[in-house]
Chain A
Amino acid sequence: MKRFILAFIAAYIFIFFWGWLLNGVFLKDVYAQTPNLWRPQSEMMSLFHWIIIGQALIVFAFVMIYASGFAGGGVMAGIRLGVLLEIAAIGMRLGFYAVQPFPGKLILYGSASGLIEMIIVGAIVGAIYKPAPARTA
């Protein structure tokens, strides 16, 4: 349980700062190309708690999958889990691209950064948490 909490906190801190750096700094100009798709800054700030809860839910579910023994153990197992989950999420992102008028480069940058993010999250969780043996049934 202690390792679970440590892995959750470490991965959450990373994901929070990565999200801020990527979306709040690096991709700021790309987001500015489609202002009508986003809430105004003040409105986003008033809903900021949903970002925190959403990120916590993502990290919690990731650590739960890892801790349930589905992924096996170790840093490489964490990275493999992160890669598979993120590539599936890229599929979802492509679906959103089909229905929402996002710039193509936002999908490209978002997917590339998402992959890096989940690889690092997987490595963090894999390094900190020592799971039970993998489930077989």
Chain B
Amino acid sequence: MNWKKFFFAFIAAFGFMFLFGFLWYAKLMHGAHQEVPILWRTEADFGNHFSSLVFGHVVMAFFLTLLYARFVPAGGAGVCATLGILVALIYAGADLITFAVQPLTAKILCGWIAGHLIQFTIAGAMIGAIYKTDSRMTT
């Protein structure tokens, strides 16, 4: 494993996922989320739990990067994007289950599924593109 490339890929994945999450879920889907306000923490309460959001993204980005580095050691944007789509399908399945048990609207469900597909495909392509070159020389 090339840890220098891994580190850069992880940082890029974290930065992208956090920024995308903010734009997609917090900004673009803000109106949809407000249709069921009972499901969300208040602004103040969210502020108290913000560290969980950051730490959660760190964990997610780190282990996704590890997944790609471990299972696609040669890297490559295309192959990693494909793996990203498959990973996104797992999260889409979880979204469907959440829809069945929590009073989400269909709009929120569709937004979450689309968000996961875009997020994990692009994150996968980024990780694959960054991790690519040196790992080919070391594996």
Knowing A51-B100, A70-B71, the reply to whether A95 touches B56 (Cβ < 8 A) is yes
Pairwise interchain contact B59-A57, C-beta atoms closer than 8 A = no
**Least distance between A118 CB and chain B CB atoms (Å):** 10
Within 8 A of A (CB), among B82-139: 82-83, 86-87, 89-97, 99-103, 139
**Least distance between A89 CB and chain B CB atoms (Å):** 7
Within 8 A of A (CB), among B1-54: 21, 38-41, 45-46, 49-53
The secondary-structure label for the interface of chain B is helix
Pairwise interchain contact A98-B39, C-beta atoms closer than 8 A = no
A interface, CB within 8 angstroms of B: 23, 36-39, 43-44, 47-48, 50-51, 53-62, 64-65, 68, 70-72, 80-81, 84-85, 87-95, 97-101, 134-137
Nearest 7 interchain pairs by C-beta: A94-B56, A91-B60, A54-B96, A91-B59, A57-B93, A58-B93, A98-B53
B interface, CB within 8 angstroms of A: 21, 38-41, 45-46, 49-53, 55-64, 66-67, 70-74, 76, 79, 82-83, 86-87, 89-97, 99-103, 139
